[in-house]
Amino acid sequence: MLNFLLAVVFTVSLYLIMRAFPKYKVDPFHAVFFNYYSCVLMGLILMPNRQQYFSTDWAATPTLLTLALGAMFVVVFALIGITTTKVGVTAASLAGNMSLVIPVLFGLFVFKNNNKDFTFLNYLGLLLALVALALSTLKKNGNAESAKKGIVLFLPVLLFFASGTNNTLINYTSSTFYQPSESSLFTAIACTGAILIGNSYLLIRVLFFGEKVQWQSVVGGLILGFPNFLSFYFLLGALSDFGNSAAFVFPIYNVLSMLTSAFMAWLLFKETLQPLNKVGLAIAVLAIFLISYQEILSVF
């Protein structure tokens, strides 16, 4: 249970740290690029056999695919950062957690590797997840900048699709090319790819477009990397504690992450939700239960 709670704590910490970036003038894009240095460092510290990483065949096809996956890591994390700062913690958390719909659909219709028969309630849960996403983004736009705000509020939708695509690629790559015991190695290699791709892009921006990197963005990114890696590390530990029952662990993990994020955003940043946003949050909880109700009920 400790792993489970720590996974939620570090996941919520991600959103809260990003929410604080504007106060300290941290550029979320630059912070994302630098957070992966801390991720790789934590991966090496916690990896049972560090020699695995240093003896990796970097020219092998699985390794190259994993490094390329780092590009999606950068895109998704950058979207989390900008969505959190522009729209809010709750909307970003809900979009990220509801994105579980996409790997479920791919598993059902593309990979055909779902280990259960989907019922009407499961499909209803998938539909309600999309409704919850839409309701979470609604705000009152009654001024001249409503069009601009409308574009900003589309960010959770982009995050939803990007995060879902990323999770699908992670599931496919890790299950196809890596053993379950190599999860830390897989994560460290993917984060290395994120460093190479993200910082190459940043270097081009600095050298050819005069973009400047502030020290607070570097520090903010390095701090962000620790909860980023640890949230994933303890989530894997929680899966192990519960017999690798992903269908049981992920729904409860997602619900706790969303509700805790919403509460902490209200407590620390005075974020308020419109009535429809609250309805969207409630529907999200219901959707997660409907998607995995068989596995949840089987435990009890």
Q: Domain coordinates of the chain in residue numbers?
A: 2-299
Per-residue pLDDT tens over the stretch 248-284: 777 788 888 999 999 999 999 988 888 888 999 999 9
Residue pair 234/10 in contact (Cβ under 8 Å)? The answer is: yes
Q: Look at residue 115 in the predicted model and tell me its pLDDT.
A: 59
CA atoms within 13 A on the CB side of 146: 7
Q: Which of 66, 100, 35 is nearest to 187 (CA)?
A: 66
Residues 156-194 pLDDT 10s: 999 999 998 998 888 788 878 988 778 788 888 999 999
DSSP character string of 169-223: HHHHHHHHH--GGGHHHHHHHHHHHHHHHHHHHHHHHHHHH-----HHHHHHHHH
pLDDT over 50 at 117, yes or no: yes
CA dist 27 and 81 (Å) reads: 9
Which pLDDT tens digit goes with each residue over 217-254? 999 999 999 999 999 888 878 877 877 666 677 778 88
With a cut of 50, say whether residue 144 has pLDDT above it.
no
The predicted model scores a pTM of 0.84
Kindly state the DSSP code that residue 63 receives in the 8-state scheme.
H
CA distance linking residue 40 with residue 61, whole number of Å: 21
Confidence of residue 216 (pLDDT cuts 50, 70, 90): very high
CA 203 vs CA 33, 113, 173: distances in Å: 11, 41, 28
- Non-local (6+) Cβ contacts of 62 within 8 A are 173, 176, 177, 178
Q: What is the pLDDT of residue 153?
A: 72
